[in-house]
Structure 1
């Protein structure tokens, strides 16, 4: 009887990938420990399984004293060891790494935490060479807090990423609320060009310099296919507008072929949307969440009409623009297969009596002669999906 070593490489990989699938919510491979042990069986298994084991790298500097869990302590030690190995070039397994999850939010300036200060110094001294060692890195999920003490670290990370010819962009560039304590860090995106994916999320204060950085970056990314900007404002004093974000894309030699666009707490008017529609003709995913405009309901209807007029949205049968939060999925549209328009709760205008009409089990609209639109609504503490003839 033939042993596993007699099987072709393709068959072994098929078996391994079937037995250790990737969990979609986390991106982690189920059965990671078993896979790691299997890699040690022979050099052949090492060569076969290393691309699976090391395609994703997670560096998390959780303080073991801050968290009582054994996982936090293990991450704390493991991440420092990996940074050192990459910086000194003592390992080659991370040449298989294509995605990096980097969490530097714990590296805060705490006077009574000497371990944290020591770790931050170590990471700052070695992070540039470590990231430069990820020769085939494509995307990064980076969770950061840009305080005066950690800005230098952020600058080194950015410079290192910009040297990688394989780097395609940020799947998530997330700044937490500590950004409010240092609204004008010397943090820049000027070193990046030709990204294909850029997703950014920050909280609280509206950092003017960062908005200008984003606008400038977009003008240097002619092949961009995914863009997401999510903003959690601390007040309603002044909003970010679509015109600000897209202010410089007119410098592009040709329109984008953008496929995914997600905007949260960004003010959008139909006129602004129409001005940039030639960049959005290839959209397959559009999500507009919590538009802060006082006329958001009218704006959503205007956007719907523009998408139809420009051929991005092609519906069969009779459908009308939404007047409230709505999510749509239909194979009958030309390119767009997902559309989500969400209004702030204070702008909800449809009465409770209408919401008591027929309830559907699926919150997605399908073309029909009656022009019914499925609306996924939130009223009070109850979620309902109601059919409304608009």
Structure 2
């Protein structure tokens, strides 16, 4: 008796669902698209995945300033559905993120239906009250524009939810009017609130709220920095001070709130269980020493924090406290800009004394790196910051910012660089990338021993990173990082003995010439490698560059950014000859003159010479010279070809070559199953597609001036599609720069031809922004609903829309007035719209 997945125990299925949707860096679950599909399998799976899928509900009308948008309509529909009880999808929601202020702001689009705002105000109480499992809220309210009723109804609704215990983020840009009160809310265990300007009523409301939360263990307050007239702790704790019992505070953060050591000591009873203290932008005159005095007092009470955050880390008492024990998990130093003279010694003490006691426990580290102490007599830095930080083996989050006198670039983020001229952020990618390479090379980690795919961008650390204060020489730390990377990369790659796919972005001009041979030497030791994607940012390869150690690939993709050098051409041909099982290949180069371009014959010269016949099934050529003579010359390599893509062909015969190729292949008994071309008006090609059926994938990207023809489109819809309707699975028409005739909604009879292609699984088209856009989307969705096997419907804006749309509309996913759900639920099945 067979056992399906649905027959597994609920506990096991729940663990599987949780596993495939991990919590990402942002704190939100990833992989939800898979759960959307799983939810439609059965009611059992729907009940299983809904608590994960609808755990967080985001209702933010951010696009209201631009007029009607899917975001506004979606939020309104959800609020109305919750209020009327017509949807039970959100009965599992535990986290709510709500902001309606753009609906009521002066910049709100005049095109936006005023009924949306009225509907939100009328429905908000019933909608929020229905979320009876809610545990956490984030709310931004602007009393300067939003109606008081909306705020009071929202707060009153929250008071009906007994499970609510966390205010993850309350933001009041303009404070609160006296007619708005937070009094219905109580019994929070976590509160994080911020506002702008001095607003006595809001401060009184927050103080009162704190007094109604006797179990509060997490408090963060962000107030505006107003020296001498800012909010002070005594105001916030006014009601707390009246409580008989002490708060069980574990995390306490103040930003812009006045705090003195006396304030803290008077309220010590609330801090007996404290784990984390953060103080920044303290507007009191003695701010420089406040946190140090507090920590010194805590030390006397045998209270040792697990986390500290400050913008005044040079406080001697604070540093003495941190270095006096071990066990710190969070250390967040973000110093204010001050006299540079103090920073070198601070950095020295930070690396040599502050970090050392906490190497085993530190999980979150943030600091600003100022210029290092002077080098020793050998000209090397007196300490190695990278080595010191890398000793913190439990680090999960690393946030390092360099001052303007420090590094100008990030030597560890190998793909993207911070272009800021005055400072750059050395984010978590820096030491994470370098440390992983070094650890893999040294064999001190086995985490990656089962890695099957590696993506590596090596050009970053070798860009022009100079320190002008040192006679335009490369900064010592950058040089150390570069050499460390070069020395370790071969052994690091060699350690990945299960690797199957490797994607490499390589810039021969700026990188160390020793690097590429080391990378390739590492790859040559991996017997399991099957797929190589090589992106060359320059065709000017060094004489030391050689792909000869690599062989036996089944998939090869090569992209080069400018004219290929003789070295590149001489390496590419032999590589193919060493891959007798190559099934998929693509070569993409720039659009250049025919005489300067790589040709199809160049690619296969060596394989032909050695009489190696490749089992190629897929070949894509972009910017490669392709002629009928070339095809005849390499015909033996195309005997099993199924997919052929040709675009930006520099050949003078580019407008007719695809049709000729189809005829040549047919003579040897080969009929293509997939075709991609940017020259659509090729008569021989269209005749071939009309007279020969069996095509599964048709991709037409019109880039030639003669493709701008309605008669050409008519020929495709009325001649080509009927011939392929029994087998066609993928249909992609147009592109971003396509002529207007390609982005207009197809005529009714043409749409019928699409619907008759019953096996279509993927449709891609482009559109122009017009007043009939909603109707256009509705028609495309109707087409999708009538195709039983459709999985993807992609509708992308064209260049004609860019001239009339604001940027956000270029990312529009669906019509604002056409409910997608009604099409997805037709016939008990679904399809994805732009992957959503």
Give the TM interval when normalised to the shorter protein: 0.7 to 0.9
Which of 184, 187, 199 lines up with 1:207 in the alignment?
A: 199
SS in 1 for 2:62: coil
SS in 2 for 1:41: coil
How far apart, in 2, do the equivalents of 1:329 and 1:39 lie?
Answer: 52
Matches within 5 A, 1:1-390: 1-27=2-28, 29-63=29-63, 66=66, 73-110=69-106, 113=110, 115=112, 117-147=114-144, 149-176=146-173, 179=174, 184-203=177-196, 205-233=197-225, 235-236=226-227, 238-313=229-304, 323=315, 332=326, 337-338=329-330, 344-345=336-337, 351-355=342-346, 357=348, 360=351, 364=355, 366=357, 376-377=367-368, 381=404
Query: Is the contact between residue 55 and residue 97 of structure 1 (CA under 8 Å) also seen in structure 2?
Result: yes
How far apart, in 1, do the equivalents of 2:257 and 2:27 lie?
Answer: 28
Aligned-residue offset at 1:89: 0.9
Where do 5+ consecutive residues of structure 2 fail to align?
307-312, 360-364, 371-402, 408-836
SS in 2 for 1:121: helix
**Structure of larger gyration radius:** 2
Structure 1 residues 19, 352: closer, same or farther in 2, change over 3 A? Answer: closer
Q: How many residues align?
A: 361
Aligned-residue offset at 1:331: 7.8
Structure 1 residues 3, 201: closer, same or farther in 2, change over 3 A? Answer: same
How far apart, in 1, do the equivalents of 2:148 and 2:351 lie?
Answer: 50
Q: Deviations over 1:141-198 (max 9, x none)?
A: 112212254332111111110111111131110123xx1xx76452211112211111
TM superposition outliers: structure 1 runs of 4+ over 6 Å: 324-327
Q: TM-score, normalised by structure 1?
A: 0.82
SS in 2 for 1:201: strand
SS in 2 for 1:24: coil
How far apart, in 2, do the equivalents of 1:225 and 1:10 lie?
Answer: 32
Q: Which stretch of the first structure deviates more once superposed, 55-64 or 375-384?
A: 375-384
Q: Deviations over 1:340-368 (max 9, x none)?
A: 5766445x696245246477399746279
SS in 1 for 2:112: helix
Q: TM-score, normalised by structure 2?
A: 0.40
- Name the structure 1 match of 2:418: none
How far apart, in 2, do the equivalents of 1:329 and 1:256 lie?
Answer: 28
Structure 1 residues 33, 360: closer, same or farther in 2, change over 3 A? Answer: same
How far apart, in 1, do the equivalents of 2:212 and 2:258 lie?
Answer: 23
SS in 2 for 1:199: strand
Q: Deviations over 1:368-388 (max 9, x none)?
A: 9xxxxx99456553579xxxx
Query: Is the contact between residue 330 and residue 338 of structure 1 (CA under 8 Å) also seen in structure 2?
Result: no
Q: Which stretch of the first structure deviates more once superposed, 348-357 or 149-158?
A: 348-357
Aligned-residue offset at 1:62: 2.8
Query: Is the contact between residue 103 and residue 142 of structure 1 (CA under 8 Å) also seen in structure 2?
Result: yes
Q: Which has the higher contact order (CA 8 A, sep 6+)?
A: 1
How far apart, in 2, do the equivalents of 1:14 and 1:329 lie?
Answer: 42
Structure 1 residues 332, 153: closer, same or farther in 2, change over 3 A? Answer: same
Query: Is the contact between residue 284 and residue 337 of structure 1 (CA under 8 Å) also seen in structure 2?
Result: no
- Name the structure 2 match of 1:387: none
How far apart, in 2, do the equivalents of 1:237 and 1:186 lie?
Answer: 28
How far apart, in 2, do the equivalents of 1:126 and 1:88 lie?
Answer: 8
Structure 1 residues 303, 331: closer, same or farther in 2, change over 3 A? Answer: closer
Aligned-residue offset at 1:225: 1.2
Aligned-residue offset at 1:13: 1.9
Structure 1 residues 225, 355: closer, same or farther in 2, change over 3 A? Answer: closer
Aligned-residue offset at 1:23: 1.5
Query: Is the contact between residue 230 and residue 283 of structure 2 (CA under 8 Å) also seen in structure 1?
Result: yes
How far apart, in 1, do the equivalents of 2:333 and 2:282 lie?
Answer: 9
Query: Is the contact between residue 223 and residue 257 of structure 2 (CA under 8 Å) also seen in structure 1?
Result: yes
Aligned-residue offset at 1:18: 1.4
SS in 2 for 1:129: helix
Aligned-residue offset at 1:119: 2.1
- Superposed CA RMSD in Å reads 3.3
- Name the structure 2 match of 1:371: none
Structure 1 residues 173, 331: closer, same or farther in 2, change over 3 A? Answer: farther
Where do 5+ consecutive residues of structure 1 fail to align?
316-320, 369-373, 385-390
Structure 1 residues 358, 242: closer, same or farther in 2, change over 3 A? Answer: closer
Aligned-residue offset at 1:12: 1.7
How far apart, in 2, do the equivalents of 1:220 and 1:79 lie?
Answer: 32
Aligned-residue offset at 1:123: 0.6
Q: Which stretch of the first structure deviates more once superposed, 323-332 or 271-280?
A: 323-332
How far apart, in 2, do the equivalents of 1:8 and 1:305 lie?
Answer: 54
Query: Is the contact between residue 103 and residue 117 of structure 2 (CA under 8 Å) also seen in structure 1?
Result: yes
Structure 1 residues 248, 225: closer, same or farther in 2, change over 3 A? Answer: same
Query: Is the contact between residue 138 and residue 168 of structure 1 (CA under 8 Å) also seen in structure 2?
Result: yes
How far apart, in 1, do the equivalents of 2:9 and 2:352 lie?
Answer: 47
Structure 1 residues 291, 15: closer, same or farther in 2, change over 3 A? Answer: same
Query: Is the contact between residue 214 and residue 247 of structure 2 (CA under 8 Å) also seen in structure 1?
Result: yes
Aligned-residue offset at 1:260: 1.1
SS in 2 for 1:106: helix
Q: Deviations over 1:98-154 (max 9, x none)?
A: 110112231224376252643221111100000000011111011221225433211
Structure 1 residues 186, 328: closer, same or farther in 2, change over 3 A? Answer: farther
Q: Which stretch of the first structure deviates more once superposed, 7-16 or 107-116?
A: 107-116
Q: Deviations over 1:15-41 (max 9, x none)?
A: 2221221223141x2221220111110
